[in-house]
Amino acid sequence: MSKDKIPKLFDGSVNELTRPSKPRKREDKAPSRSAELKKEKMQKTLYISRDMNRKLIELYGEEGRRQSAIVEDAVNLYYYLRLALGEKKFEELLSAVKREDPDFLRDYIEKFKL
């Protein structure tokens, strides 16, 4: 390891505190912001019920993926179903989902098959 890679320890002097830091090299900077915007981690606070948390943990255990990936899939599914079905049909689908009866939901979705 080269000597310039080892960080210098703070010596406790006032000069050390007031000296400007060294500018970073161009290659040390992060990649362009626009390229990484889609993958950027955002701070999220989700307030969910205990039942929803149980379902999320169950999905996490079955699929072995990160919870954030499952939540992103759920948001995408919600968003595109809402666009594809329209407001009225989407509300009907949500009311079927809220029954929490997989058999009823399966029969309801059968109506959408072409």
Query: What are the domain boundaries of the chain?
Result: 50-110
Which has more pLDDT, 109 or 34?
A: 109
State the number of CA atoms in the 13 A half-sphere of 75 facing the CB. 7
**The predicted structure's pLDDT at residue 51:** 87
**The predicted structure's pLDDT at residue 81:** 92
**The predicted structure's pLDDT at residue 10:** 61
Distance of CA 5 to the CA centre of its chain: 35
pLDDT digits (tens, 9 = 90+) for 20-69: 666 656 555 555 666 666 666 666 677 788 888 888 888 888 877 787 78
**The predicted structure's pLDDT at residue 91:** 93
Residue 110: both structure tokens together: 């059968």
The band of 83, judged by pLDDT with boundaries at 50, 70 and 90, is very high
**Core vs surface per residue 54-75: b (16+ CB within 10 A) or e:** eebeebeeeeeeeeeebeeeee
Cα 4 to Cα 20, 29, 33: the distances in Å are: 18, 18, 29
**The predicted structure's pLDDT at residue 97:** 92
CB 81 within 8 A of CB 90: yes
Residue 38: both structure tokens together: 């889609």
pLDDT digits (tens, 9 = 90+) for 7-30: 666 666 666 666 666 665 655 555
